[in-house]
Amino acid sequence: KAGVTQTPRYLIKTRGQQVTLSCSPISGHRSVSWYQQTPGQGLQFLFEYFSETQRNKGNFPGRFSGRQFSNSRSEMNVSTLELGDSALYLCASSLGDSTSGYTFGSGTRLTVV
Amino acid sequence: GNSVTQMEGPVTLSEEAFLTINCTYTATGYPSLFWYVQYPGEGLQLLLKATKADDKGSNKGFEATYRKETTSFHLEKGSVQVSDSAVYFCALSDPNMRFGAGTRLTVKP
């Protein structure tokens, strides 16, 4: 079956702009989680959506937001980009919760210049 | 809060050497424990998991045992290959996945 698909794979944006990243989970998976990965901070949890509702949220500023659609596809948005937002953004899907493990996409590499 | 601590890398081994990557956790209750692997330019892949004390997770020659008494979940492999070179992450469910800092493994021929 198809894996988790993230688009685009690479993005270059300018400070102050906004960006939207997309994630299509594995068919049947209703939970989508987003992580930011940087060399300095490692993997940091952004938020999780389940059945179109944000179920958990990490410690990120309000510039980071997300949503989930009825087909479980999810988007995350970052407004007013800062240089420090440069990172690999990873999306992970699961059936319902984290106890069975996550399936990750290949990520979107965002570079802010 | 719950957390995971894993040994700092990088770890460099020769092919066919024995691998251990240490992982300890701090948690209230008994979370599920995981090892993930990340190859260059890719996302993370679930390598193995254990859901309760004394469970042993295994996959592709890798093993880890959920030790409640030592709050550990060390990753082991008896004979590493060059293709095992990657970054390995220990994680627990909290309820979302909480990851360690990652350990980079390089296996030389």
Q: How far is A9 from chain B (nearest CA, A)?
A: 10
Which residues 39-68 of B are in CB contact (within 8 Å) with A?
41-46, 49, 51
For residue B17 the two structure tokens come to 């050497």
| Chain segment B13-36, per-residue pLDDT in tens | 999 999 999 999 999 888 999 999
- Tens-digit pLDDT string for chain A (113 aa): 679 999 999 999 999 999 999 999 999 999 999 999 999 899 999 999 999 999 999 999 999 999 999 999 999 999 999 999 999 999 999 988 788 899 999 999 999 99
